């Protein structure tokens, strides 16, 4: 410890209770030798245990100045040796000869002011903090007034209870409160250390949080760096705080939750603003840490919700080599999702995504699971629009005629209604022929696509629309309008955890077409 190594009593070669005249004599001797360039050694240099002293005129003057005030004399006396009894003489002979164990054994024979104080200093030299604190508790409880009187002289034997706290404060400053605290058994000392350490630790964590908050609005990279810095800068203070406060303590919970939620938000902001392939994994590195340190239920739930979303995104990440194509496809799907459910937009989706799907197929292979999954996703969304528009054109109010339900539009303007139906069915079949060229997952193709295709083909045949296998030239001009949306591969992990869900539900309704065909036959 520096306060022992550089103790002014050691610099002057005296015990803490040595007469002032001895201190002055040593000072004069040192100055005289230093003038001729020589060093002086004293028995209390204790070079067996401490670094050798290199004295100068400045260090000697500083040592004298450090002992000018009573308060300073007491401060340094707490961390140096005192000689009071004949046993002390014997013990110091062993100590100065390099045999500390023998000296300690002598001081252990009888507990008194000097034996306890000297054992405290020896224990600190050996970094035996448990012994030092055990001796200190007995020393400051039983001998403090006598100690003060012995250092400052008769008439100065006040209790000066703050000396015990001063002793503990210096230990915590030099050794570390987290190291010292486990060895403290005195309740008031423990509370003093905790109170003294908690406030600056919380202040340092709060200051780090404010620094991280200042990065908001400065871009995704700045938020990521802020999250990493906040995590690293507060890891030790938070761990130290947990030594002084249980995690169930409200004060600990509040600062831990505040810290964790800001780290979480850094991850969210980074992920939402980043297009990098590994954005989810990088965000996870700090969001998972946030979930680990928060304590309160609401904070834990929010962290878990976002971590679960990120994990799902990570699990569904495409192979890195096709990330660019995958992102482009999902951009198209996002735009498509915002547009009306019409066949024309389905065709646009198919035509716009086909080149990217072909590239993925080339890179991964036609049987690759991820390729089939995303190709099916495109077809499923296009099929949804086809189903919706075919079903919509058949929607009409009906009346009973000859025991049959006949659409009113057929009575008002039969030719116009039939033309509408034929136009939609023709467009639907043309789109279907484009979808036929897309690869799909077998379950989807068998149980949903083929069933709807068969229904549509039957409707077209009933209306006299050719269902030949020839594939029309695909449109190249997109008809979709631009939208400002979020890429699902770069989806926001917010507290609600909402995700875009691409469904393939729905079947073509063929009931009204059959009624129309029946009505035409009846009229003919």
Q: Residue 402: pLDDT above 80? A: no
Supply the pLDDT for residue 39. 86
Domain ranges within the chain, ordered by starting residue: 2-178, 190-315, 322-523
> Token pair of 133, please?
């604190």
Give the per-residue pLDDT at 482. 32
Q: How far apart are CA 504 and CA 86, in angstroms?
A: 97
Q: Which of 110-124, 150-164, 308-322 has the highest mean pLDDT?
A: 110-124
Query: Is the predicted pLDDT of residue 509 greater than 90, yes or no?
Result: no
- Tell me how far CA of residue 480 lies from CA of 320, 380, 393, in angstroms: 28, 18, 21
Closest CA to 228 of 250, 255, 248, 208: 208
Alpha-carbon distance of 306 to 290, in angstroms, equals 11
Q: pLDDT for 202-215, tens place per residue?
A: 999 999 999 999 99
What tokens does 126 get? 């050996």
Coil/strand/helix, residue 14: coil
228 has pLDDT over 60: yes
pLDDT band at residue 276 under the 50/70/90 scheme = confident
Rounded Cα–Cα distance for residues 346 and 336 (Å):
8
Q: Which are the contacts of 428, defined by CB distance < 8 A and separation ≥ 6?
A: 343, 386, 389, 390, 456, 460
Q: Residue 232 to residues 269, 278, 512: CA-CA distances in angstroms?
A: 18, 21, 67
Helix (H, G, I), strand (E, B) or coil at 275: coil
Q: What is the pLDDT of residue 396?
A: 63
Question: pLDDT digits over 59-76, tens only?
Answer: 999 999 999 999 999 999
Quick check: 504 pLDDT over 80? no
In terms of DSSP H, where are the helices of 408-499?
Answer: 408-435, 442-444, 450-462
Euclidean distance between CA atoms 221 and 266, whole angstroms:
10
**pLDDT tens digit string along 160-171?**
668 999 999 999
Q: 83-97, 274-288, 325-339, 487-501: lowest mean pLDDT where? A: 487-501
Least confident of 103-107, 343-347, 458-462: 458-462
Residue 512: count other Cβ atoms within 10 Å of its Cβ: 19
In this prediction, residue 178 carries a pLDDT of 83
Q: Is 115's pLDDT higher than 50?
A: yes
Q: How far apart are CA 30 and CA 293, in angstroms?
A: 57
DSSP 405: E
416 versus 129: the higher-pLDDT residue is: 129
Q: What is the pLDDT of residue 446?
A: 95
Among the listed ranges 160-169, 218-227, 425-434, 461-470, which one has the minimum average pLDDT value? Answer: 461-470
> Which residues lie closer than 8 Å to 287 by C-beta, 6 or more apart?
263, 264, 267, 268, 303, 306, 307, 310, 493
* Angle ∠(214,220,225) on CA atoms, nearest 5: 65
Query: What percent of the chain has pLDDT above 70?
Result: 84
Q: Answer yes or no: is pLDDT of 17 > 90.
A: yes
pLDDT at 91 over 50: yes
Q: What is the pLDDT of residue 411?
A: 57
Q: Give the CB-side neighbour count of residue 23, counting CA atoms within 13 A.
A: 19
Check whether 432 has a pLDDT greater than 60.
yes
Cβ neighbour number for residue 420 with a 10 Å cutoff = 14
pTM of the model: 0.58
pLDDT at 194: 87
Q: Which of 386-390, 393-397, 499-503 has the lowest mean pLDDT?
A: 499-503
Tokens (6 digits) for 337:
């999702």
Question: Residue 20 pLDDT more than 80?
Answer: yes
At residue 156 the predicted structure's pLDDT band, cuts being 50, 70 and 90, is low
Give the alpha-carbon dihedral of 201, 205, 210, 211, to 10 degrees.
Answer: 110
CB-CB neighbours of 94 under 10 Å: 16
The kind and range of the H/E element at 406 are: strand 404-407
């Amino acid at each position: 410890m520096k306060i022992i190594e550089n103790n002014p009593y050691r610099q002057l070669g005296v015990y803490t209770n040595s007469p002032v005249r001895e201190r002055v004599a040593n000072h004069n001797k040192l100055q005289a030798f230093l003038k001729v360039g020589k060093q002086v050694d004293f028995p209390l240099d204790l070079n067996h245990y401490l670094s050798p002293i290199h004295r100068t005129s400045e260090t000697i003057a500083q040592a004298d100045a450090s002992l000018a005030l009573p308060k300073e004399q007491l401060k340094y006396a707490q961390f140096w040796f005192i000689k009071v009894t004949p046993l002390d003489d014997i013990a110091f002979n062993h100590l100065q000869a390099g045999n500390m164990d023998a000296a300690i054994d002598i001081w252990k024979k009888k507990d008194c002011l000097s034996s306890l104080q000297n054992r405290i200093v020896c224990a600190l030299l050996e970094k035996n903090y448990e012994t030092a604190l055990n001796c200190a508790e007995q020393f400051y409880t039983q001998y403090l007034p006598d100690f003060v009187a012995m250092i400052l002289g008769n008439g100065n034997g006040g209790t000066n209870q703050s000396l015990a706290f001063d002793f503990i404060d210096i230990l915590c400053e030099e050794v570390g409160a987290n190291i010292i605290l486990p060895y403290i058994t005195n309740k008031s000392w423990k509370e003093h250390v905790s109170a003294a350490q908690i406030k600056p630790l919380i202040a340092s964590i709060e200051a780090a949080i404010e620094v991280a908050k200042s990065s908001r609005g400065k871009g995704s990279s700045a938020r990521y760096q802020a999250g990493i810095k906040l995590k690293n800068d507060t890891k030790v203070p938070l761990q130290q705080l947990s030594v002084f406060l249980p995690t169930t303590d409200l004060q600990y919970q509040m600062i831990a939750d505040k810290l964790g939620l800001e780290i979480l938000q850094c991850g969210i902001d980074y992920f939402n603003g980043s297009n990098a392939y590994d954005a989810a994994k990088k965000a996870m590195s700090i969001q998972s840490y946030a979930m680990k340190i928060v304590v309160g239920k609401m904070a834990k739930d929010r962290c878990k919700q976002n971590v679960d979303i990120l994990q799902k995104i990570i699990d569904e990440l495409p192979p890195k080599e096709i990330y660019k194509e995958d992102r482009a496809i999902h951009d198209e799907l996002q735009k498509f999702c915002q547009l009306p459910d019409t066949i024309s937009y389905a065709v646009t989706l198919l035509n716009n995504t086909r080149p990217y799907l072909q590239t993925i197929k080339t890179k991964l292979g036609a049987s690759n699971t991820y390729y089939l999954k995303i190709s099916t996703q495109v077809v499923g969304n296009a099929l949804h629009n086809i189903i919706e528009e075919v079903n919509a054109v058949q929607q009409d109010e009906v009346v009973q005629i000859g025991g049959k339900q006949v659409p009113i539009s057929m009575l008002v303007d039969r030719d116009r209604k039939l033309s509408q139906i034929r136009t939609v069915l023709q467009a639907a079949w043309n789109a279907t022929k484009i979808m036929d060229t897309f690869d799909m997952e077998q379950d989807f193709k068998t149980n949903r696509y083929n069933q709807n295709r068969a229904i549509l083909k039957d409707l077209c045949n009933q209306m006299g629309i050719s269902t030949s296998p020839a594939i029309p030239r695909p449109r190249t001009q997109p008809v979709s309008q631009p939208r400002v949306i979020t890429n699902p591969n770069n989806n926001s992990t917010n507290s609600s955890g909402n995700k875009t869900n691409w469904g393939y539900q729905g079947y073509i309704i063929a009931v009204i077409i059959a009624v129309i065909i029946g009505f035409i036959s009846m009229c003919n």
